[in-house]
Homo-oligomer: A and B are copies of this chain.
């Protein structure tokens, strides 16, 4: 039996039409370095229609075509966010922080024929153009040195000139809600970058979730400052949620340094913000040095990597700003979970929940796959790889123009769930705590040992500056942990036996490393994360001097 409800597809154009009519007076406030530039949602709707006309009529952009944006967070990027999906084409946000060769690879893989680029980013794009044979049009948004484009092949357009005088309405097509709306590639630390293709449906549902009181709870009374770039997973869905609910946006453009951020918060007084922990760390230091009033912020969402609890406490205690931990990834649109504490717990107990990755909303189903592939109980102790399912979770990766989607076995289970690559535990009341990356966890005799847990314990030792723990092959157990430690200062005389005993007081005996080595620094990736594959390679090549201890600690 079918229902009698209207069959109305969930489309990005519906979010746009709603935001630009019902919330006509809400604003996009772009920070320009010369004060804020303000534009109403109504005007944004008109300019979005003009952009769509220009793209279709002037540059020949077709339905289904992928168009790149290499842009900061600003009003024009919001216009592209809505024009491209609404006209049936696909928004492809380009991560300007990627190494140039990866950026070129992605542009070629997505077959971008048109790229919208902020003038300030021409020094990044121009040198790539010779290696981008498919790019025919470059649309320059805002001031920049266009002489950099001289002698390159694509036609060059100026954004304002391109859209000027075109009709301010557009007859947005009714699309199947499963049509592609936006494309975002993961940064791909191993292998080629992988593209997640968001649909109109997934964006619409994700926007509703972001707007729910249990998530970010944005309303027309809010001004949100997405510091998270619009090229990172749709700025965590905030631009879409803003048009859906009438939330005004403060857009920082390229002014992501602590001082201008503090300045724009004090001036515009946003009620909400979202960024990765390093941004907040920098802002906290800035505010200590040059105090400003950031009390307008009721809540900030923090994600991208685990946030140090001390940072969360500092914001709350020094500035009255509540920091909410969130977890997600490119493949999850990104909202996976948010760490609002449960009702009825004491303020201090709240912290034990707020430092977790959080609780899943109804749209995200979760399970933990254990070392043998069986699913583990939610007991707060059984660690497994997190697998998720839901209407805004990727079920495949983009295969490139004309190709089938990719479903690598290590990323998608046979029954279609996303394998997140994150290892963690889930408490009986549904809070996720991530303990490791699946590729870093030590698989020892059918049990998993968290490398991160061992590292944290070791780094708590007063004579240890840094420590990394990696899996190394072991005949009996399959894998065992190797602890690589960096002693503090020149004169440290701590022994492996002492460290072993120190760990023995803190973790189960079977998890204690037998193999130890001293290094001068933990190898790091370009963004400062521990690069454990370097350590594993050094071990495999015999480059490390390893001491093996008696497995039983001295008693």
Contact = CB atoms under 8 A, between A and B. Distances in A.
Interface string A188-213: 00000001111101100101110111
A430 to B, nearest CB: 4
A4 B186 CA distance: 14
Contacts of A197: 1-5
A362 B244 contact: yes
Contacts of A21: 378, 430
B6 A418 contact: yes
A434 B391 CA distance: 37
A68 interface: no
Nearest to A405: B4
Contacts of A416: 6
Contacts of A181: 3
A483 to B, nearest CB: 36
A398 B4 contact: yes
A219 B208 contact: no
A393 interface: yes
A390 interface: yes
A272 B273 CA distance: 27
A213 B202 contact: no
Interface stretch (A10-18, A260-268, A493-501, A529-537): A10-18
Contact of A429 (B24, B222, B430): B24
A3 B213 contact: no
A25 B246 CA distance: 34
Contacts of A244: 362
B395 A90 contact: no
A245 interface: yes
A416 B219 CA distance: 30
Band of interface residues on A: 35 or more
A5 B212 contact: no
Interface in A224-250: 244-246
Contacts of A17: 365
B202 A205 contact: no
A429 B25 contact: yes
Contacts of A361: 18
A113 interface: no
A159 interface: no
Interface in A252-274: none
B196 A4 contact: yes
Contacts of A460: none
B6 A178 contact: no
A23 B430 contact: yes
A49 interface: no
A211 to B, nearest CB: 5
Interface string A328-348: 000001000000101100000
A217 B246 CA distance: 15
Nearest to A17: B365
Given A6-B389, A6-B395, A213-B211, A220 B342 contact: yes
A268 to B, nearest CB: 13
A432 B389 CA distance: 39
Given A209-B208, A219-B340, A365-B14, A2 B391 contact: no
Which 6 pairs, one residue from A and one from B, show the smallest C-beta to C-beta distance? A3-B199, A6-B395, A22-B430, A213-B217, A221-B343, A18-B362
Given A5-B395, A214-B220, 12 more contacts: A1-B66, A2-B179, A5-B392, A6-B390, A8-B389, A8-B390, A18-B360, A24-B429, A24-B430, A207-B362, A214-B219, A220-B340
14 contacts: A2-B180, A3-B179, A5-B201, A5-B393, A6-B391, A10-B205, A17-B365, A18-B365, A24-B430, A212-B217, A212-B245, A213-B213, A214-B246, A220-B343
